[in-house]
Amino acid sequence: MNVWTTTILIKSRLKIALRNQGLFESNYKGGFMNIKTEYYLIRVLGDVEPFIQGQYNSDEERLKRAQEIRKTDGDHDGLYRLNIVDGKPEISCFFGNELDDSGKSEY
């Protein structure tokens, strides 16, 4: 692996880590700035009626709540992440075995 590839790989991992911690790499002069991230849970009852739950202090806290819902209510409801990053919504799903507390993945 050459220096250029290593640098790109490190930058990519750094961006992911910063985004996970509620920080974001700014394109402005290559500096860093603090961007506020708010964490919510979208619960779609019966995969029909959406509700927003939260605000949670972290993604980990939101994940624990989603796991509790899945454990007590089964898989009848859709569960999705909602992040508000610098005032802009970002919706994403939970992956693999994140909601399964057994630690075994179906994939």
Q: Give the pLDDT confidence score for residue 18 in this predicted structure.
A: 57
Pairwise CA distance, residues 7 & 94, whole Å: 29
Q: Which residue in 58, 68, 75 sits closest to 101, CA to CA?
A: 68
Flag whether the pTM goes above 0.75.
no
At CA 81, angle to CA 34 and CA 26, rounded to 5? Answer: 25
Token duo for residue 67: 């796991």
Average pLDDT of adjacent 10-residue blocks, the chain of 107 residues: 54 60 49 77 89 93 94 90 90 86 50
Q: Measure Cα distances from 36 to 4, 82, 83, 87, 90 in Å.
A: 31, 14, 10, 8, 13
Domain ranges of the chain: 1-35, 37-96
**pLDDT value for 26:** 46
